[in-house]
């Protein structure tokens, strides 16, 4: 089973997360009308990675990635804590997963074709360029098209490399 799942949809509201009447939380509650799950809420914490530090507004297309192994409250609509959020004006597909040295994800369903180390959209979470081949890391990948092969192969439009703390 996939550890990380993607939700595609449209932002219906952005509000501060209120845990009590006197609360001044640094977290947000973003409501999304998703294409396949219906209404979904995302609790966005200050440490949630947001691509390009985008500020979301009602009506915008969004991609949210959440960890399927994190417990969630049994409420409707479902409420997840995303690990990654991205604006999706261009209609991208997204994946967040560990990719091995051959740039193959853990379930062997997607293989990345990165032409060379000069690929311009190979970035670290802080927006700086990553100068090496990104294998053996967790990667957030935005792409438009794949082959119909198994595994599917894509040349991504943007790759964000999440290095471990030891690197």
Query: Any idea where the domains of the chain sit in the sequence?
Result: 4-87, 93-162
SS3 category, 92: coil
Q: Residue 164: is its pLDDT beyond 70?
A: yes
Question: Is CATH 2.40.50.140 the classification given to domain 4-87?
Answer: yes
Q: Residue 117: is its pLDDT beyond 60?
A: no
Looking at the whole model, is its pTM more than 0.85?
A: yes
CA-atom Rg of the chain in angstroms: 17
At residue 22, the pLDDT reads: 62
User: What are the pLDDT digits (tens) for 25-60?
Assistant: 889 999 999 988 999 999 999 999 999 999 999 999
b/e per residue 116-144 (b: at least 16 CB within 10 A):
eeebeebbeeeeeebeebbbebbbbbbbe
β-bridge mates for residue 79, sequence order: 41
At residue 23, the pLDDT reads: 67
């Amino acid at each position: 089973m996939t550890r990380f799942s993607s939700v595609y949809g449209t932002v219906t509201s952005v509000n501060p997360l209120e845990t009590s009447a006197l609360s001044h939380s640094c977290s947000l509650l973003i409501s999304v009308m998703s294409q396949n799950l219906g209404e979904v809420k995302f609790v966005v914490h200050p440490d949630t990675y947001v691509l390009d530090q985008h500020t979301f507004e009602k009506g915008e297309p969004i991609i949210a990635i959440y960890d399927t192994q994190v417990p969630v409250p049994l409420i409707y609509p479902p409420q997840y804590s995303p690990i990654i959020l991205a604006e999706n004006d261009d209609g991208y597909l997204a994946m967040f997963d560990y990719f091995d040295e051959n740039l193959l994800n853990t379930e062997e369903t997607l293989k990345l074709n990165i032409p060379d180390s000069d690929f311009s959209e190979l970035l670290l979470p802080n927006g700086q360029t990553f100068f090496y081949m990104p294998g053996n890391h967790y990667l957030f990948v935005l792409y438009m098209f794949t082959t119909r092969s198994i595994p599917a192969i894509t040349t991504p439009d943007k790759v964000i490399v999440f290095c471990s703390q030891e690197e």
